[in-house]
Amino acid sequence: MSVTTSKKETLSYKASPLPFMGQKRNFSKKFMDELGKMPNDLIIIDLFGGSGILSHSAKVAKPDCRVIYNDFDNFQLRLKSIQVTNDLIAFARSILSEYPRNNRVPEEPKKQILKRIKQAQSDHGYIDYISLSSSFLFSGKYALSYDELAKEGWYNKVRRSDFKADGYLDGVELVCFDYRDLYNQFKDVEGVVFIIDPPYLQTQSTTYKEHWNLGQHLDTLTVLQSEKFFYFTSSKSNIIELMDWLDSHAFMPSPFKYCKRLSHKQMVSGLNSYEDIMFVKG
């Protein structure tokens, strides 16, 4: 994760300070550029806030605007637990220092580290297992509980430095609502721009609070009636294709028809790739 400081001494994060599946780190620059072209008296509402990186980027790009981050997953609890997470990782670093990196962690050191995690769980009541996972599990694999972490095979991928999130959500308003309730509160307010980054159709989202079915994915299209929005999706999800089909068969106009489309190519294993897409209206 890279952090820079702007002329106004505002900390600017290019990615979420903690691991978060589906965060829009690759769009942070394009998003800020597009938002920068919009007026300075907006209310920016991040309906599917996730890690908060888009809310953070919005506040950096538009410091005078009101920015509302819908923290549906309680990411702030993970941020508040950073010290505990860092202490546990520092302990693991000392235990694993004599073991080769990226190799399987033998049972004995794993047991020692798990014992410390269990103790921390009873001392603090909450442990950020998602952040811990990135030090022990294959990339993209996350445990959500002690039992899940304990049952996995571990690899020595322990972080070399502390997590840091100083100033990350400075000036951002935090709320926690179902996105429809938040949308309804603001849909008739002047000068609102909605950031809409729902869980994607046909992508894994096991670390999110709830699993979505097709109807729930389609429901998010109802918030595209607003005057100004950023909508994120991917070529892996078939939403755009479906909208284009309905449009070309005269069922309904595609909500993306008059939007600006920006994309980012994501390489996966071998020669495979897919596109992350951002639509901008307003």
Least Å distance between CB 163 and ligand SAM?
A: 16
| Segment interacting with ligand SAM, rule: CB under 6 A, options 99-107, 130-138, 156-164, 204-212 | 204-212
Structure tokens at 24: 């829009």
Interface pick for ligand SAM out of 17, 19, 199, 282 (rule CB under 6 A): 199
Q: Is 197 in the site for ligand SAM (CB under 6 A)?
A: yes
239, two tokens: 């939403």
50 lies in the binding site for ligand SAM (CB under 6 A): yes
Shortest distance in whole angstroms from residue 104 CB to ligand SAM:
31
Count of residues binding ligand SAM (CB under 6 A)?
Answer: 21
Strands 11-13 and 192-196, sheet pairing: unpaired
Q: Is 179 in the site for ligand SAM (CB under 6 A)?
A: yes
One of 54, 88, 105, 149 touching ligand SAM (CB under 6 A): 54
Instruction: Name residue, tokens 């304990």.
Output: 150
- Determine, following the binding rule CB under 6 A, whether residue 128 of this chain makes contact with ligand SAM: no
Is 244 in a helix, a strand, or coil? helix
Residue 158's Cβ-count burial label (10 Å; 0-12, 13-18, 19+) is buried
What is the crossing angle of helices 82-96 and 129-136, to 10°?
20
168 lies in the site for ligand SAM, by CB under 6 A? no
CB of 210 to ligand SAM, least distance (A): 6
133: tokens are 């996972």
Task: HSE, CB side, 13 Å, CA atoms: give it for residue 53.
Answer: 23
CB of 169 to ligand SAM, least distance (A): 12
* Count of C-beta atoms within a 10 Å radius of residue 49: 27
Stretch that binds ligand SAM, among 78-86, 89-97, 115-123, 197-205 (CB under 6 A): 197-205
DSSP E strand boundaries for the chain: 3-5, 11-13, 43-46, 66-70, 173-175, 192-196, 229-234, 260-267, 273-281
Q: Which is nearer to ligand SAM, 154 or 231 (CB)?
A: 231
Which residues of the shown chain bind ligand SAM in the complex (CB under 6 A)? 16, 20, 22-24, 48, 50-51, 53-54, 70, 72-73, 178-179, 197-199, 208-210
